[in-house]
Amino acid sequence: MPDKDSSTPRVFLYRHGQTEWSKNGRYTGITELELTQDGVDQVNASGKMIVGSGKLIDPAKLAHVYISPRRRAMQTFEIAFSDADKQALNDAKKVSETDRLAEWDYGLYEGLLTKEIRALRKDHGLDTESEWDIWRDGCENGESAQQVTDRLDNLIQEIRTLHKDNMHGENPSDILLVAHGHLLRAFTKRWLGYPMEFPLSLMLDPGAVGVLSYQHHSIDEPAMLVGYGYPLQD
């Protein structure tokens, strides 16, 4: 971050590593899947590069770690952090599972591909004027965009309560979210104040990390870091 913003609190978005269904493009909400070996390797690689003392995600600078209750997210946290750092964070009661970070409940679409979902919806007499868009239409027997909005807004309000008195680095205030592809992209939209249906195309690879923060040390100016400058290492 620029020097003038370097002490501003950040929110790190850590997507879980690859699973068989994420590899195949199948919508995975409540289904419990383990990471593939490639998924484990992805998290090992990102964890070694950016998690640890003096690195981008420095455990000493974390105010809290929020994790989806799904196994693949918990496994990602377990792999990315050293045993000592996990112990220190847990001892300080800085780690919690929360349903607010559970992946979108896909309802009837669980385990399906996008083309299969669109075919199913047409069989149900839906989408006669435009193709299915989860950000607008939600999921049959699952969550609507408004329901996902409500639970994410609740979490964002909690995070901003932690941040508001620490906008100039008064205390360690970074936040880590370990969760899922759709959910973390939805979180980004809501962090920036956009409705779910706003056409903001976002990508987040398995095992990858995104960064959100604020401009001008202002709690009223949430921002997305689309590029991050790293300090020179000796």
28 is annotated as contributing to ligand binding: yes
Annotated ligand binding at 103? The verdict is: yes
Q: Is 105 annotated as a binding residue?
A: yes
Is 104 annotated as contributing to ligand binding?
yes
Question: DSSP code of 36?
Answer: P
How many alpha carbons lie under 13 Å from residue 196 in its C-beta half-sphere? 22
- Using CB atoms within 10 Å of the CB of residue 67, give its burial: 0 to 12 exposed, 13 to 18 middle, 19+ buried: buried
Residue 154 Cα distances to 42, 157, 182, angstroms: 30, 5, 17
Q: Is residue 72 annotated as involved in ligand binding?
A: yes
Residues assigned a catalytic role: 16, 103
Q: Give backbone dihedrals phi and psi of 186, rounded to 5 degrees, phi first.
A: -65, -40
Is 106 known as a binding-site position?
A: yes
Tokens of 39: 């998924």
Rounded-to-integer distance, Cα 11 and Cα 173, Å? 9
Structure tokens at 24: 């195949």
E strand residue ranges, 60-204: 62-67, 95-97, 174-179
- Binding-site residues for substrate sit at 28-29, 72, 103-106
